[in-house]
A and B are shown apart, each in its own frame.
Chain A
Amino acid sequence: MTAPAPDTDSFAGRDLISMRDYKRDELLAFLDEATFYEGYQEPLLKGKVLASLFFEPSTRTQLSFASAMQRLGGSTLGFSDAKLSSMAKGESLSDTIRVVESYCDIILIRHPREGAARLASESTSLPVINAGDGTNQHPSQTLLDLYTVRQTRGRLDNLKIAFIGDLKYSRTVHSLIETLTHFDNEIFLVSPQSLRTPPEFIEELDARGTVYTEDEDFFSIASDVDIIYTTRIQQERFPDPIEYEKVKNAYRIDREAIERVGADVTLMHPLPRLNEISTDLDDYPGAAYFDQAKNGVTVRKAILSLLLGASR
């Protein structure tokens, strides 16, 4: 017998810092609720203010939260460059948060240091959303990824999912792999040797009994893959430019590559892409990366409403 789904009111006032803080049934309740926000534009958050504190640049996360807030009648204030904040004058993060909390109802933070969002949440009683803390977590991206998986495949269990590219530094991948351990799937981890999944995540897969395979070769992954999740290999991660040149095209996915690993593949990417996904795949029926971006607004509308305790 499964436990009853948590009441959506139970999210009111909570933070969204790490996927570790949410259980499987809460994730499912979150995703169920998010489906109601597709195209939803009622002024549910009228009079509410989102403080958007970006100590590190972002395009889609910041804009999609702002879009979500405005589509629900709320407003946004904030900065998108640490140089514009008092941190540049040496103010501590905790002090910045204590000051900002009197200007708003909910706080969104991206920061280059891991753990910054957790510290921010301990400095205020307002809900705090982590929009990326260093290489650690990016939970709203994970929720929209899960939402897209369920939307395209109709389920979150019994899938063969391949992660390809930079599996060492990508917080998006870390957060998603970890969250997928709540579900029963087979995982393939394909990366160059220098960008392998960190051991702590591998240990987590072992501890949870998740079936996985690690390999350098994209075509070594089993056939009938349901989902390919690919990430950008960042040049700045390679001290030696020759090493970067060697791997940058090794994981490029085009139509031929896709057809070799599965007949019906969903192709995901958190964007921005460089040349990991050939543009000839943009009209491939399984290409879901622009759907992910679109779902970003839907899921973030749900996040804002649930944490602010606004009922539809």
Chain B
Amino acid sequence: MTEKSTAEPLIRVSALSEGTVIDHLVAGTALKVLDILGIEFEGAVTIGMNLESRKMGQKDIIKIEHREVSPNEVAKIAVVSPRASFSIIRDFKVVEKFSPTPPKLIEGLIWCKNPSCISREDRVKSKFVVVRMDPLQIRCHYCERSQRKEEIELL
């Protein structure tokens, strides 16, 4: 497949009257991203998985009609796919395009894998220090255990 064909989803984007396009997702993470966003959409949802990409080798892309993303959702998506890019569409035009800023601290999004960590007690909001963004490695602010991307479980 050529780069021209990878641009095809963008052609479809232009037909979106309003909504969000999330591009440059790590291949295989689209369903996880939908899970983060919840599945109660009124509009159409288009998912492209394992599309060829010159920059990434392979990538996923999601187009959602009548839905914009909250900062909290962007932060969660950045955890599973740090290089994701977001285009907000209104009235058939891209009104905003951004990539998430890598956070230094991830709060309340991730479940600490250590069963003995105090953050797993009720009433404690989890906090993780980002040690490295790509590939993602985080360290629990409380128990100081490291977690790699493949071990991360979102709350």
Contacts and interface: CB of A to CB of B under 8 A. Distances in A.
B117 interface: yes
A94 B119 contact: no
Given A92-B121, A92-B122, A94-B123, A115 B146 contact: no
B111 to A, nearest CB: 14
Given A92-B121, A94-B123, A113-B121, A20 B144 contact: yes
B118 A115 contact: yes
A115 B122 contact: no
Given A112-B116, A134-B116, A200 B121 contact: no
A136 interface: yes
A114 interface: yes
Contacts of B25: none
A118 B116 contact: no
A27 interface: no
Contacts of A135: 116
Interface residues of A, number: 20
Interface string A104-140: 0000000111111011000000000000011111000
B143 A134 contact: yes
Interface residues of B, number: 16
Contacts of B119: 115, 119
Contacts of A230: none
B143 A114 contact: yes
Interface string A139-182: 00000000000000000000000000000000000000000000
Nearest to A134: B116
Contact of A119 (B142, B145, B146): B142
B114 interface: yes
Interface string B120-142: 01111000000000000000111
Interface of A is mostly: mixed
B121 to A, nearest CB: 7
Given A92-B123, A94-B123, A119 B118 contact: yes
A20 B142 CA distance: 12
A118 B121 contact: no
Contacts of B122: 92
Contacts of A94: 123-124
A118 B146 CA distance: 16
A75 B144 CA distance: 32
A114 B118 contact: yes
Nearest to B122: A92
Contacts of B143: 113-115, 133-134, 136
Contacts of A118: 118, 141-142
Contacts of A261: none
Contact of A114 (B123, B124, B144, B146): B144
A112 to B, nearest CB: 7
Contacts of A137: 144
Given A113-B116, A114-B114, A93 B121 contact: yes
Contacts of B123: 92, 94
Given A115-B117, A118-B118, 11 more contacts: A20-B144, A114-B114, A114-B143, A115-B140, A116-B118, A118-B141, A119-B124, A136-B143, A136-B144, A200-B145, A203-B146
Closest 5 CB pairs of A and B: A115-B142, A114-B143, A115-B118, A115-B143, A200-B146
